[in-house]
Chain A
Amino acid sequence: MSQQQTISTPSTADTSSKKMLTAMVGIGVICALLIVLVYDGTKERIEQLRAEALEKAVFRVLPGVSSSQMFELGADGVFKPVNKPEGKNPIVFAGYNDTGEFLGVAIEGSGQGYADIIRILYGYSPETQTIVGFYVLESKETPGLGDKIEKVDHFLANFTELSAKLTADFSKIENQIIPVKQGAKSNPWEVEGITGATISSRAIGNIIGESTATMVPLIFAQKESFKKNPDQK
């Protein structure tokens, strides 16, 4: 880096390394103190903002919802209310309206898009057995093209009443949700794509299709457990 660097002679080596040590430790302590102070000062606000962002997303995919509760899907296939996500178990959010009535579940799904993994949140209403909302949590799709999945109206309109109807014995989805070309939607379980964002919009259709196939039968079977107990409040 520079020519100023000199090799310490043996006689001064002891004092010099002592000096180095004190300097590094001193700076380290100062820096650590600074970081801890700032961390403490901002922690609360950061957590609040994060929770707000997630809650906003839940509210967006479940119209009419004003509060939500996180549920974790255990290895045994049973949903349990939790306060913080632990481990890798899938998380869903149950949404309630002002009077505490259970309206639906917001489910997270992800899959390969054009550029990278796309993470989405979608709302499922067991009452009507439809998908009622959709929101992109994270995507790196090409700006101006792939990111149309977040903006184009006719695409977003897919997710206001997308059928995720179960078979008569409620064991699986009757017609898996599939993506189709723009203008080719003819069934309530089809997701109409976007010309110019073919791959990204298809990816969304497939993500929802795969996610609903596994999650919806489980959620429907346990829909009672999402309802709020009056005493739980």
Chain B
Amino acid sequence: MSAGITKHTEPKADPSSTDEFIKGLWRENPVFVQVVGMCPTLAVSNSAQNALAMGLATAFVLVMSNILVSALRNFIPKEVRIASFILVIATFVTIVDYAIQAISVDLHKNLGAFIALIVVNCIILSRAEAFASKNGIGKSILDAMGMGLGFVFALFCLGAVREILGNGTLFGIAVLPESFEKWIIMILPAGGFFTLAAWLLLFNFFKLKKAKA
């Protein structure tokens, strides 16, 4: 995981606040456009519920760490900024871990090791590095919420497709007739790659079409 994608997310002249929010949802969607944070994206998107929970947990960590990083941005010397960011992020991941355990043991069992891995999800580090450490708290919150919701949206897209095809259900509710043959591969790790590829294909198709027009 690297923060090498900072280049094209550099804050522009003075974009409007709504733009800071919207860009993460669509134009700079972390999964479909920036293609970062693939580990949780592929691993826990095998059902809509897991995807949503993972997405929300990540979004929460993203918003909270962006707030703290932005608040402390003048206090943190740049030599130790990455270490400081990781410290902040790890704190909120630990908090989320406890919170999920307190909500449901089953959910915690499903998300398992991947909660701890939110720490190294480069969406969070890259937003801290590229945005929060250079902008005020208000804008940082908007940015984090946009990116976070964009991540939730992307994970949900993957999780929904995989759960419907792989299990015939959505959020555990049957949406396809009983006789539907489940595509087991879709809930296996390989299915994550196939589904992600299909979504990227769709996104690039729209992007090319727009560029041509």
Direct contact of A and B (CB under 8 A): yes
Compute how far the CA of A35 lies from the CA of B64 in the bound complex, rounded to whole angstroms. Answer: 13
**B116 close to chain A: CB less than 8 A:** no
Contact bitstring A131-148, B, C-beta under 8 A = 1, else 0: 000000010001111000
Identify which of B84, B102, B187 contacts A144 (C-beta below 8 A): B187
Q: Look across to chain A and name the residue whose beta carbon is closest to the beta carbon of B112.
A: A140
A12-31 contacts to B (CB < 8 Å): 16, 19-20, 23-24, 26-28, 30-31
**Chain B contact residues: helix, strand, loop or mixed:** helix
| Residues from chain A with Cβ under 8 Å of B3 in the complex | 1
- With beta carbons under 8 angstroms apart, the residue of B78, B106, B166, B167 that contacts A5 is B78
| Residue A152 is within 8 A (CB to CB) of chain B in the complex | no
9-residue interface stretch from B32-40, B93-101, B171-179, B194-202:
B93-101
| Interface: A8 (CB within 8 A) | yes
B188 and A142 form a contact (CB under 8 A) = yes
Distance from B209 Cβ to chain A, minimum over Cβ atoms (Å): 35
**Cβ of A53 < 8 Å from any Cβ of B?**
yes
Are A16 and B77 in contact (CB-based, < 8 A)? yes
Judged by a CB distance under 8 angstroms, whether A45 is at the interface is yes
Near A by CB (< 8 A), chain B positions 41-95 give 46, 68, 72, 75-80, 82-84, 87-88, 90-92, 94-95
The complex places the Cα of A107 from the Cα of B82 at a distance, in Å, of: 48
With A1-B82, A2-B6, A31-B87 as contacts: A143 and B77 at CB distance below 8 Å: no
Give A148 Cβ to nearest chain B Cβ, in Å.
Answer: 12
Q: Tell me which residues across on chain B come within 8 A of A138, comparing CB atoms.
A: 109
| A-binding residues in B (CB < 8 A) | 2-3, 6, 46, 68, 72, 75-80, 82-84, 87-88, 90-92, 94-95, 98-99, 101-102, 104-106, 109, 129, 166-167, 182, 184, 187-188
Listed residue (A39, A42, A45) with the most chain B CB atoms within 10 angstroms of its CB: A42
What B residues does A31 contact at CB under 8 A?
Answer: 87-88, 90-91
Asked if B80 and A24 make an inter-chain contact with CB atoms under 8 angstroms apart, the answer reads yes
Q: A143 with B46: in contact, given A8-B79, A42-B101, A49-B102 (CB under 8 Å)?
A: yes
